[in-house]
Every structure is written in C-alpha cells, then in structure tokens.
Amino acid sequence: MNFINEASWDRIARVVLGIALLALGWGGAIGGGLGTVFKFLGFVPLATGLLGWCPLYAIFGFRTAEASREAVEAG
C-alpha cells in the first residue's frame, strides 16, 4: 500500500490525540466555542491516524513511514 505516509508511532499519536480532543469536546470538560472546535477538530487526527495517510504530508512530500521495498527498487 504505497499511499501510507505515516509511521506506526505517528498513527498511534494521531489516534490518541483525536480521541482526547473528542473526549474533551463531547464529554463536556471544555465548553463554549473551544469545546465546539474540539468536537470537530478531533476527527481530523483520528481519521488520518486510522487511514495512515495525511493529505498535508502528501502535498509537501513528507513522510514518517519507511518507503516500501518495491518503491525503493522501482525508483
């Protein structure tokens, strides 16, 4: 799967961050405007962590995952 551009540690950190933001926003620990921001912003790191692909990494050509052996041999 060549589209994965996040290492395992990066994916775990994103999932944990996403869950934490969602828990703070939806759990009521943080209210008001910041709570609303956390409610929606938490989905971004959660989704990118679960998918293993970050669109900003792709745009800027950055990756934390090691290149696959097939990609290295081909390129």
Task: Tell me how far apart the alpha carbons of residues 43 and 21 are, in angstroms, rounded to a whole number.
Answer: 8
pLDDT above 80: residue 66? yes
Of the pLDDT bands very low, low, confident and very high (cuts 50, 70, 90), residue 71 is low
CB 48 within 8 A of CB 41: no
What average pLDDT score do residues 1-8 get?
A: 83
Q: pLDDT of 9-42, one tens digit each? A: 999 999 999 999 999 999 989 989 999 999 999 9
Residue of 53, 38, 68 whose CA lies nearest to 5? 53
Q: Do 45 and 14 touch, CB atoms closer than 8 A?
A: yes
Residue 73 pLDDT more than 90? Answer: no
